[in-house]
Chains A and B, each alone.
Chain A
Amino acid sequence: DAGVIQSPRHEVTEMGQEVTLRCKPISGHDYLFWYRQTMMRGLELLIYFNNNVPIDDSGMPEDRFSAKMPNASFSTLKIQPSEPRDSAVYFCASSPGGGTEAFFGQGTRLTVV
């Protein structure tokens, strides 16, 4: 398996623009997580899905953030409009569930200028 695949790896955008981050989880994994990592706050859970259904989005900073999982092999995290404070590394991770390990994608480094 290729592991969790994220795209793009790097994104530079201007304030106010829409940004879409993409994730393909490991096949057969029922759980998908979106995290944001910054030096100040570490790894923050934004939202997670179980069998394509959002379970907990309490970590989503505000209404500018939205996430979808239309099928078992694809998820998106959208920021509209983007702001400089959204600059961070965004990770997607997937897990088979049952309390077992989560595996991370390579991350998307987002810079909003």
Chain B
Amino acid sequence: QKEVEQNSGPLSVPEGAIASLNCTYSDRGSQSFFWYRQYSGKSPELIMSIYSNGDKEDGRFTAQLNKASQYVSLLIRDSQPSDSATYLCAVNTGNQFYFGTGTSLTVIP
């Protein structure tokens, strides 16, 4: 059974719209949650971390965590073509990081 599930997409949104990316995880003991962005041919880059229930905002990015539902999401407001990438959800359980397979996002100018 996979630890972390993501919709693989692809997800396409017009420039300026809100992109919504979702992730579920299986281990209720997980304490830390992360979103990474990976451009084609590059390494994963950390963009958001969230540790407690609720919302966390950083610029155009908002991470949302609901531990009761075992659900993490990432909202990207005012999407830009430069946001086009694969977004990886990661969950830390017992100091191990489990990654989803990623959601491919394309922002259309």
Contact = CB atoms under 8 A, between A and B. Distances in A.
B101 A42 contact: yes
A45 B43 CA distance: 15
A45 B32 contact: no
B34 interface: yes
B99 A42 contact: yes
Interface residues of A, number: 24
Contacts, number: 49
Given A43-B88, A99-B51, A101-B34, A56 B46 contact: no
A45 B96 CA distance: 9
Nearest to B51: A99
A50 interface: yes
A57 B83 CA distance: 35
A42 B102 contact: yes
B95 interface: yes
B21 to A, nearest CB: 15
6 contacts: A56-B96, A102-B90, A103-B46, A104-B36, A104-B45, A105-B43
